Amino acid sequence: MSDNHEHFVIPLKYYVGTLIALLILTVVTVAVAQIDLGAFNIYLAMFVAMIKAGFVIFFFMGVRWDEGFNKIALFGSLLFVAIFFVIVLADVFSRDIIYSTENDVFNIKSPVKMIGDDS
Amino acid sequence: MSKEKQIDSLVDYGTTWLPGSYSTLSDIVDVQFNAILWLSVFGTLGITLVTLYFCLKYKRTQKNLVSKSQIDHNARIEIIWTVIPFIIVMGIFYWGFRDYLRLTVAPEDTMEIRVTGEKWRWYFEYPGTGKRPSDDLVVPVGQAVKLVMSSKDVLHSFYIPNFRLKRDVQPNRYSHIWFEATKIGTFQIFCTEYCGDQHSNMGANLIVMSKNDFEAWKEVGEDTETPLPILGKRLYKSKACNACHSIDGSNVIGPTWKNAYGANRELESGEVVLIDDNYIRESIVYPGKKIAKGYPNVMNSYAGLLSDREINALIEFIKTLKED
Amino acid sequence: MSGSKLGNVAHHFENAYQQFSSAKLGMWLFIVQEILFFSALFVAYAVYRGMHPEMFVDAHHHLSWKMGGINTLVLIFSSFTMAMSIRTAQLNQRLQSFWYLGTTLFCACIFMVIKFFEYAEKIHHGYLPSVWFSGEGIYETMHIFFGIYFTMTGLHGLHVLVGMGLIIWLMLETRKGKYNSEYFTPVEMVGLYWHLVDLIWIFLFPLLYLIG
Amino acid sequence: MAGALNYINATKGLKSWIFTVDHKRIGIMYLAFVLLSFFLGGMFALLLRFELLTPSTLYLTAKQYNQVFTLHGAIMVFLFIVPSIPASLGNFFLPIQLGAIDVAFPKLNLASLWIYVLGAVFCFYSIVGGSIDTGWTFYTPYSSSTDTSVIPMVLGVFILGFSSILTGINFIVTVHKMRAPGLTWFKMPLFIWALYSTAIIQVLATPVLAITLLLLALERTIGIGIFDPALGGDPVLFQHFFWFYSHPAVYIMILPAMGVISEVVATFCKKKLFGYELMAYSSLAIAFISFLVWGHHLYVSGQSPYATMLFSLLTFLVGIPSGIKVFNWIATMYKGTIDLKSPFLYFLSFIFLFTIGGFTGVVLGSLSLDIHLHDTYFVVAHFHYVMMGGTVMAFLAGLHYWWPKMFGKMYSELAARIAFVFVFVGFNLVFFIQFIMGSKGMPRRYYNYLPEFQPYHVLSTLGSWVLAVGFFIMLGYFIHSLMKGKTAPENPWGSSALEWKTASPPTTFNFDKNLDYIDHGPYDYPEENK
């Protein structure tokens, strides 16, 4: 392990730049929310929030200059959050489909017929 | 559990591993079960025998103090034992999934029956008939039946072992299963989602009748012939009163019925009432109104589930439990 | 300097760098578990918003986006001062570091005060989770929105309070001159935690206050 | 070496244990608490099996029976099996196997121990104050409506979760930052790989359990309305949240066991582990895939058929790395020199029982079969074969393997073999019959059952007594070993692993002298023709 490791001090311009960017983006997100874009609003708001989060993570938290594994840990955890989201939402919003579309979804004419049915 | 009707035994019929198979689809489940069972038996035997053989062959003895070889990998064999199990399990997945669809997706021309679960009984309603809610699930043989199920309180699960069918029952949502019975008889229904004290007594009978018998059963109106106390005794079991009320004086969940009629009862409010016909009737229809002191307020209302004659029958039955 | 064991290096570490990078990895793992902790709340939010979209739109009108917006700005600014206090600690500027921490604490107080007024108003109008819900609304499922609102902002507020305690501790230690360019691990760790609190709010704000 | 200072006698007094930061002492204290929990959980199990001798009431009321099975499950899962191997054996041997003086955060390690104890106190409070009767899965809406003490237990498990998370964080950092010079990733023993994979799951999954239980507690007290259908909530969502933790938790339980088994088989065969790298990667693969299969607990609960299909597919995938491990362990025996000492006997029973558990897992993974078998005794038997036949057998293997190192005393090999026979026979008696019972249609969590099932239940109960006798013999010879056991040599099994190169028991700082640069793998055994 390297003994003469100097701590990296993040240049001031990154901090100030991040602060300004975050303040502007907050105003943007509030302004956009006043316009009714229907379902698109939420996606836009989340998009802006993610950019803001990116600024905080990379510059305030210093991930841009951080060790490799710390990055893997952080972004890896987001992968698991994504798994959680996608699977639970996929389940909740596809639960009733099988009953409303019964047979045509799986191309089963009648499940009873399929036993030993050659056709 | 009630032995009044001869219920088809799960243990005595069927194979060593599975109970009797009495629906059009239960056989396909059995085929797969047996296939994987034998695969497992051979797999486990193979692994065990190889392990024991190695134990004997390479046992540490004076002649064998040092390993013969430090072989630590063999690409070919590792690929083989990765790929072959992979193919096998993917095959089983497809097989299971295909059968799952057959079990889940009902055909077009089903007869619908509504199933309601509540702590701790099932009842079954037949839309389009004048039938009162039934305590037994009565279905005709050779007819596809679709059950539309829901719960009144917590989660339950509706399980017919002989048909290899199970589905959770939830409050505020409907779940469905379907089947077509192939054998006339009386079979067991269980609740398999843990639902509280009397979970293990939350069973029901599935009665499969010939089509003619079923039509006749549908037409049978209310029982006006059985003497009231005898009818009451029957209802005591079939309406699951026995889950919470004893008739031998012991305390279960609710107060006992023994020596109850004509006695005075202290209520949670501190008031004391006489147990008479009116009090019993009110307690059946509005169970939350007058709670006996020391007992939880957990009983569901039987309004609409019992006819006037049936309520009278229960009152008469409780009267017979009075000892002099 | 490095290589020899200083007073701040624990017995089981080789050197200060190993100790610092261990602490930092540990802190990142803690942040990872915090992310997973909050993720379940966001999943619950997404599920119920998907189930009752109109109710969510209606319910969020009872929240004041102005108050939420001010809180967002306050929290972002506090994140900036926190970052600056780490930087000044790294540069041996002890007094400045102390005052940056002080500003962060002040911002956190403002945040909590505004939060208090928001809560007081909701409680006054009866917009509480189900047991006490007595608010007016056209949707009968509206208590779910407020159940989620109070759980999410409540847990976030709890994290702010914990952070405030940590910052007070840092200020006391900074005054004693504990931190310098060789050793500033606690400042850096609390900083990471504080940014996480900010991060969560960055998502909470549009999700709760700015529903289209 | 007699009379030499070691970690046990280096300092004296109760305080020197309560406030110790030595990972070995913390490991030993964990071991004591974990074994105590196992004893308590086991007692509850015996009560259950005794009640089930007859189809109707024997001596417990229905409510008491429900409370006892809930406590058996909750104690065994949260207080015993989750911390069992990582917190006791792992705490003791992870730093030593890495050639480190201690874990990365010794104080955090101590904190995690006492947080565990605090959580346990809450759980015990729940036992005395109107025991919880929801089953260890706390399914809503039953858990949000029952009148028993749900909240103390839920808070207890919440706190235990944080103990588990802190241990996980500590282990990951230790493995990353504290390895001895020369000890590269692929020179680490597989026990470390297993603990590392486990720690990843602990850090990623446990917080979701924490928030789920917190939400459950809120649902019970103020009714936030997301789990309780009476308030518009969705009980299946609770099941998703719960199993998002609790399925990976199954691998928190089994992965360390696999690590122990790898160590034992290499030592007692004096063989390099077959397919070492594949074993290491498969640990990580299991950890990852374990996050994708939780929905196989929800096949019949009202989950969407699409999710069900996906989960079934992924469930079958997670079996593959486990299968590879079994084959590799057996291949390790090939051309070795096998010493049939008691740890190796537990290895053999692990292979046998885990194989059965694995194959029945395939049965349950199949969608159409699971509809029939879900929530029957078949499931009960399956997870006991995996959890007890797998994890507990491996825990016992590890305990017998490392006992001389931990306490510096040998135990009676003869007594250990006798106990082994009782444990192995008893276990199979209890649980094998439950497979048949379950596939015949006997639902689980039943207080009363159909009289026709009685012969099966009687056999199972008899087995539980045989099993108990085995464990009491074990308790006897371990106590005897502590009091009067022969002094253990440094390396009684002739292992090449690093932990056997220090004294038995180790000194406070693990190694007296600086370690040589580590230039070989963990399983460095001689070969005949060289």
Tell me the Ramachandran region of residue D335: left when phi exceeds 0, alpha when psi lies from -120 to 50, beta otherwise.
left
Tokens of D260: 């122990």
Residue where the block lists tokens 């009902």: B106
Mean pLDDT of chain B: 86
On whether residue D516 sits in a domain, the answer given is no
When the candidates are 3.40.640.10, 1.10.760.10, 1.10.540.10, 3.40.50.300, the CATH number that belongs to B228-320 is 1.10.760.10
Q: Does residue A62 surpass a pLDDT of 90?
A: no
Q: Where are the domains of chain B?
A: 26-104, 111-219, 228-320
- Inter-chain CB proximity D310 and A95 less than 8 Å: no
The DSSP-derived string for B46-61 is HHHHHHHHHHHHTB--
Residue pair C167/C99 in contact (Cβ under 8 Å)? The answer is no
B84 contacts in chain D (CB < 8 Å): none
**pLDDT band at residue A1 using 50, 70 and 90 as cut-offs:** very low
What's the average model confidence in pLDDT over B24-50? 93
- Inter-chain CB proximity C206 and A74 less than 8 Å: no
Residues in D whose CB is inside 8 Å of some CB of C read: 100-106, 108, 165, 168-170, 172-173, 176-178, 203-208, 210-212, 214-215, 218, 221-226, 231-234, 237, 241, 244
What's the average model confidence in pLDDT over B127-131? 78
Q: Return the beta strands (E) in A1-119 as ranges.
A: none
Tokens of B121: 């009984």
What's the average model confidence in pLDDT over A44-73? 90
- Inter-chain CB proximity A45 and C206 less than 8 Å: yes
Q: How far apart are CA C206 and CA C212, in angstroms?
A: 9
Which of 165-184 (C) contact A at CB < 8 A? 181, 184
Nearest to D50 by CA among D36, D38, D64: D64
On whether residue C92 sits in a domain, the answer given is yes
Note the pLDDT of residue C180: 86
The CATH number of whichever domain residue D392 belongs to comes to 1.20.210.10
A77 contacts in chain D (CB < 8 Å): 204
What's the average model confidence in pLDDT over C18-23? 89
Q: Could you tell me how many CB contacts below 8 A there are between chain B and chain D? A: 283
Nearest to D166 by CA among D91, D68, D62, D56: D91
On whether residue D440 sits in a domain, the answer given is yes
Number of domains in chain A: 1
C12 contacts in chain D (CB < 8 Å): 100-104, 106, 178
Q: For D306, which of A77, A84, A94 is closest by C-beta distance?
A: A94
User: Does B324 contact A at CB distance below 8 Å?
Assistant: no
Compute the nearest-CA separation of A3 from chain B (Å). Answer: 37
- Inter-chain CB proximity B107 and A111 less than 8 Å: yes
**pLDDT band at residue A118 using 50, 70 and 90 as cut-offs:** very low
Q: How far apart are CA B288 and CA C161, in angstroms?
A: 45
Q: For A1, which of C14, C29, C32 is closest by C-beta distance?
A: C14
Nearest to B4 by CA among B241, B200, B222, B234: B234
User: Does C6 contact A at CB distance below 8 Å?
Assistant: no
Q: Does residue B1 surpass a pLDDT of 50?
A: no
Residue C77: domain span: 32-209
**pLDDT band at residue A96 using 50, 70 and 90 as cut-offs:** low
> From C73, which residue of chain A is nearest by alpha-carbon distance?
A23
Residue pair C201/C55 in contact (Cβ under 8 Å)? The answer is no
Compute the nearest-CA separation of A103 from chain C (Å). Answer: 26
ipTM value: 0.86
The CATH number of whichever domain residue C173 belongs to comes to 1.20.120.80
D169 contacts in chain A (CB < 8 Å): none
- Inter-chain CB proximity B60 and D337 less than 8 Å: yes
Per-residue confidence in pLDDT tens, chain D, 530 aa: 445 788 888 888 888 898 998 999 999 999 999 999 999 999 999 999 999 999 988 888 888 999 999 999 999 999 999 999 999 999 999 999 998 889 999 999 999 999 999 999 999 888 888 888 888 999 988 888 888 888 999 999 999 999 999 999 999 999 999 998 888 999 999 999 999 999 999 999 999 999 999 999 998 888 888 888 888 888 889 999 999 999 999 999 999 999 999 999 999 999 999 989 889 999 999 999 999 999 899 988 888 888 888 899 999 998 899 999 999 999 999 988 999 999 999 999 999 999 999 999 999 999 999 999 999 999 999 999 999 999 999 999 999 999 999 999 999 999 999 999 999 999 999 999 999 999 999 999 999 999 999 999 999 999 999 999 999 999 999 999 999 989 998 889 988 888 888 888 998 888 877 777 888 888 888 887 65
What's the average model confidence in pLDDT over B211-232? 82
Q: How far apart are CA D38 and CA D32, in angstroms?
A: 10
pLDDT tens by residue, B158-208: 999 999 999 999 888 888 889 999 999 999 999 999 998 889 989 899 999
Q: D–C contact (≥3 CB pairs within 8 Å)?
A: yes
User: Does B106 contact A at CB distance below 8 Å?
Assistant: yes
Compute the nearest-CA separation of C129 from chain A (Å). Answer: 23
A103 contacts in chain B (CB < 8 Å): 105, 108
Which of 219-248 (B) contact D at CB < 8 A? none
Number of domains in chain C: 1
Number of domains in chain D: 1
User: Does C134 contact D at CB distance below 8 Å?
Assistant: no
Q: Which residues pair with B292 in a beta bridge?
A: B267
- Inter-chain CB proximity A3 and C28 less than 8 Å: no
Alpha helices, DSSP H, located in D181-275: 190-221, 235-269
Residue A17: domain span: 9-66
- Inter-chain CB proximity A106 and B24 less than 8 Å: no
What's the average model confidence in pLDDT over B121-146? 86
Amino acid at D310: L
Comparing B111-219 with B228-320, is the CATH topology the same? Answer: no
User: Does A99 contact B at CB distance below 8 Å?
Assistant: yes
Tokens of C178: 């504990």
Q: Does residue C7 surpass a pLDDT of 70?
A: no
Q: Could you tell me how many CB contacts below 8 A there are between chain C and chain D? A: 113
Q: Which residue has the higher pLDDT, D464 or C182?
A: D464
Task: Give the DSSP H or E segment for B17.
Answer: none
Neighbouring chains of C at 3+ CB pairs under 8 Å are A, D
C205 contacts in chain A (CB < 8 Å): 29, 49
User: What CATH architecture does domain B111-219 belong to?
Assistant: Sandwich (2.60)
Residue D179: DSSP 8-state: P
C184 contacts in chain A (CB < 8 Å): 7
On whether residue D510 sits in a domain, the answer given is no
User: Does A55 contact C at CB distance below 8 Å?
Assistant: no
Residue A41 CB partners (closer than 8 Å, separation 6+): A32, A33, C210, C211, C212
Residue D328: domain span: 23-501
Q: How far apart are CA B38 and CA B35, in angstroms?
A: 5
- Inter-chain CB proximity C31 and A9 less than 8 Å: no
Compute the nearest-CA separation of A89 from chain B (Å). Answer: 18
Burial grade of A118 (CB within 10 A; 0-12, 13-18, 19 or more): exposed
Provide, rounded to the nearest whole percent, the portion of chain B with pLDDT above 70.
Answer: 98
User: Does B180 contact A at CB distance below 8 Å?
Assistant: yes
Q: How far apart are CA C25 and CA C189, in angstroms?
A: 10
Q: For D450, which of B1, B29, B85 is closest by C-beta distance?
A: B1
SS3 content of chain C, % helix, strand, coil (to 5): 75, 0, 25
Residue where the block lists tokens 């692994």: B47
Compute the nearest-CA separation of D332 from chain C (Å). Answer: 35
On whether residue A82 sits in a domain, the answer given is no
On whether residue A92 sits in a domain, the answer given is no
On whether residue D8 sits in a domain, the answer given is no
Inter-CA distances, D76 with B194, B256, C137, D90, D123, Å: 19, 37, 47, 18, 12
User: Does A1 contact C at CB distance below 8 Å?
Assistant: yes
Compute the nearest-CA separation of C96 from chain D (Å). Answer: 30
D224 contacts in chain C (CB < 8 Å): 129-130, 144, 147-148, 150-151
Q: Does residue C3 surpass a pLDDT of 50?
A: no
